Every structure is written in structure tokens, then in C-alpha cells.
């Protein structure tokens, strides 16, 4: 059993949770994820390790309540336990001193990009960050991101906070003004796709962090397969980070809709009851 040490509400749909998992806390690196199961009937879902502390033996996850499992997770309180937490999984993000790096987080993707931004900054890069969200309530980790960024831009779809528009608006201006050595984009597939289209024009290498549907997270099922270049990759072991210019985002969008019909059902049941 893995004890929940703390829960914080970051926005209406997004929570952060600190979990006791000493073995994972000891080994985790930015960019890696865990697979968790809430209870005996639960499914295995992947979530990025947002923060980790080997001393206290704890890890932090930040999740958006989008479906059955994340909603169930959102109902748990400090002192409750998760039945299974496995990790750290996936390759850590490459942290190199490159010069100027633009880091983009869309929605809950800010939580995923955060540990890498911090590592990139610590090693001496100039970091320009962009946070994109649907509306004011969905903007998370703004202060923490500001602390570790040389420059921070915030956009909202509806203009309720920061600048009205999408992350590619400030990105374009930045790329026109100066030379970026790397762009990291983590967020909804559609956002990553458009960022990559733009950075390709500007010829800036771009890394994305993919979120296909997973089961084991250890390379034994192929549920997470994605097309990168002309190869099929298993995102859980070959990724989750890939060269964004080679990713087939449309295929990933289709594949993430594989269980849409089935997943609607339990949510409906819950509302009815």
C-alpha cells in the first residue's frame, strides 16, 4: 500500500498529490512516470512524476480529472492509500546545456514539463516558458514556473487571464526575435502538433512528451505504440519523449480514442446513481 501524504487542489479539475513511495523517490529523474492503481478493481494509469524527494521518500503527481480513474483518484484524501504504484518508468528527459530553451506546457502538461524546466535551468540554460490553458482556473504552477524561468508567458483560450490566444502566438514572436536551441512542448496532442508545425518552419529541434493509452508501462503489451518517423515505438520504454518533428500526431489522436465508447459508460453510471 502506498500512503497519500497530502492532496492539494490546484484548480477545479486539477489536483496535486504527494504519495509515499521511497523506492521510486530514490530513483526518479525528471521526465519519468509511474503507473498506479487505486484499488483491486482499478485500471493501471500512467502519471508523470512532478516532483520527488528521496529524503522523505515521497513523490508528487499532478493530475486532471478526465475520466473514471482520475476522478476516483481525486476523491481520495490525505491518509488514504493506493494499492499499487510502480516506477520510475520511461527514459528520463535529456538535460543538457544548450543555450536558450523554450518550454511550453499546455493545461496539465505544465505539471509534466515543470521538473524538466527546473533541471534545464539548474544546468545553466536560459529558459523561456509558456503556459497555455483553457481559462484562468486551469492555469497551474504559475508561480513555480516563474521562479525558474527567465521569461514567462501565459495564454488562455478565452482571454480570462494572461494573453488571449494559444501558445503558438507567443512562441512565434519569440522565435522571430531570437534563436532558440530547443523547444519542449508538453500538453494536449493538438497543441504539440501545432507547436511542431511551427518549430519546423523555424528549424528548431523540438521534443514532445507523448501520452498514449498504456497498460503495463514496461514494454510488454504495445498498447502505447506510436509512429515516429517510419518506425513504430513503444512510448513507455522508448519514450515518453520523442523528436516532435517525426511524430504522427493524427494517429495518436485516433489511438487515444480507442475506448471512448466504453469509458463514457461508467461515468454515466456514476451520475445516475
Partner 1 sequence: MQKRLLMPEQLPQDRIKNFNEVALGYTEDQAVAEAKRCLQCKKAPCMPGCPVEVDIPGFIKRVAGRKFPEALDILRKKNNLPAICGRVCPQETQCEIVCTLKKKGEPVAIGRLERFAADWGRTHSSPITHNQSSNTRLKPLAAVIGAGPAGLTCAGDLAKTGWDVTIFESLHAPGGVLRYGIPEFRMPRDVLDYEIKYVENLGAEIKPNIIVGRTVTIDELFATGYKAIFIGTGAGFPYFLGIPGENYNGVYSANEFLTRANLMKAYKFPEYDTPLRIGKKVAVVGAGNVAMDSARVARRLGAEKVCIIYRRSRSEMPARAEEIHHAEEEGIELDLLTLPIEIIGDDKGWVKQVKCLKMRLGEPDDSGRRRPVKIDGSEYLEDIDTIVIAIGQGPNPLLLSQTPGLKLNKRGNIIVDDITGETSLEGVYAGGDIVTGAATVIEAMGAGKRVARAINEKHG
Q: Which stretches of the chain bind ligand FES, using CB under 6 A? A: 214-217, 219-224, 234, 236
Q: Among residues 13 and 241, whose Cβ is nearest to ligand FES?
A: 241
CB-count exposure of residue 112 (10 Å: 0-12, 13-18, 19+) = buried
Helix H or strand E segment including 106? strand 100-106
Q: Does 7 bind ligand FAD (CB under 6 A)?
A: no
Among 55, 177, 203, 260, binds ligand FAD (CB under 6 A): 260
- CB atoms near residue 188 (< 10 Å): 16
Residues engaged in binding partner 1 (CB under 8 A): 23-24, 27, 37, 41-44, 68-69, 83-89, 215-216, 218-223, 225-227, 232, 237, 251, 254-255, 257-259, 261-263, 265-266, 269
Question: Toward partner 1, which CB reaches closer, 150 or 259?
Answer: 259
Q: How far is the CB of 94 from ligand FAD (least distance, A)?
A: 16
* CA pair distance 166, 210, nearest whole angstrom: 19
Question: In 3D, which of 227, 250, 254 has the Cα closest to residue 239?
Answer: 227
Residue 195 binding result from partner 1, ligand FAD, ligand FES, none, given CB thresholds of 5 to 8 Å by partner type = none
Of 130 and 189, which CB lies nearer to ligand FAD in the complex structure?
Answer: 189
Beta-ladder partners of 47: 34
Cα 233 to Cα 221, 226, 237, 243, 261: the distances in Å are 12, 5, 8, 12, 26
Which CB atom, from 145 or from 210, has the smaller least distance to ligand FES?
210
Report if residue 68 touches ligand FAD, rule: CB under 6 A.
yes
Of 42 and 57, CB closest to partner 1? 42
Task: Assess contact for 143 and 120: CB atoms under 8 A.
Answer: no
Which among 76, 22, 25, 68 is positioned nearest to 45, based on CA atoms? 68
DSSP letter at 138 equals G
Closest approach, Cβ 141 to ligand FES, in A, equals 27
Task: Say whether residue 226 binds ligand FAD (CB under 6 A).
Answer: no
Burial of 78-111, coded b for 16+ CB within 10 Å and e otherwise, reads eeeebeebbbbbbebbebeebebbbbbbbbbbbb
Among 30, 31, 46, 187, indicate the residue that binds ligand FAD (CB under 6 A): 46
Provide the minimum distance between the beta carbon of 35 and ligand FAD in the complex, in angstroms, as a whole number.
Answer: 9
The minimum distance between CB 47 and ligand FAD, in angstroms, equals 4
> By CB under 6 A, how many residues form the interface with ligand FAD?
25
Amino acid at each position: 500500500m502506498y500512503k497519500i501524504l497530502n492532496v492539494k487542489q490546484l484548480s477545479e479539475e486539477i489536483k496535486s498529490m504527494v504519495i509515499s513511495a521511497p523506492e521510486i523517490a530514490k530513483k526518479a529523474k525528471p521526465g519519468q512516470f509511474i503507473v498506479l492503481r487505486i484499488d483491486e478493481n482499478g485500471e493501471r494509469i500512467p502519471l508523470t512524476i512532478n516532483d520527488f524527494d528521496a529524503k522523505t521518500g515521497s513523490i508528487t503527481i499532478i493530475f486532471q480529472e478526465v475520466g473514471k480513474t482520475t476522478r476516483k483518484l481525486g476523491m481520495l484524501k490525505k491518509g488514504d492509500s493506493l494499492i499499487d504504484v510502480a516506477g520510475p518508468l520511461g527514459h528520463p528527459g535529456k538535460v543538457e546545456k544548450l543555450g536558450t530553451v523554450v518550454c511550453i506546457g499546455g493545461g496539465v502538461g505544465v505539471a509534466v514539463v515543470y521538473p524538466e524546466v527546473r533541471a534545464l535551468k539548474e544546468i545553466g540554460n536560459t529558459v523561456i516558458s509558456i503556459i497555455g490553458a483553457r481559462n484562468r482556473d486551469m492555469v497551474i504552477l504559475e508561480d513555480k514556473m516563474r521562479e525558474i524561468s527567465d521569461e514567462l508567458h501565459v495564454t488562455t483560450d478565452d482571454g480570462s487571464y494572461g494573453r488571449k490566444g494559444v501558445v503558438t502566438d507567443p512562441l512565434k514572436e519569440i522565435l522571430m526575435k531570437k534563436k532558440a536551441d530547443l523547444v519542449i512542448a508538453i500538453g494536449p496532442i493538438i497543441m504539440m502538433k501545432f507547436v511542431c508545425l511551427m518549430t519546423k518552419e523555424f528549424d528548431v529541434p523540438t521534443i514532445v512528451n507523448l501520452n498514449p493509452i498504456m497498460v503495463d508501462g514496461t514494454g510488454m503489451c504495445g498498447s502505447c505504440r506510436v509512429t515516429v518517423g517510419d518506425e513504430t515505438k513503444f512510448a513507455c520504454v522508448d519514450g515518453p519523449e520523442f523528436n516532435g518533428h517525426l511524430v504522427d500526431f493524427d494517429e495518436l489522436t485516433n489511438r487515444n480514442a480507442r475506448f471512448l465508447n466504453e469509458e463514457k459508460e461508467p461515468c454515466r453510471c456514476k451520475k445516475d446513481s
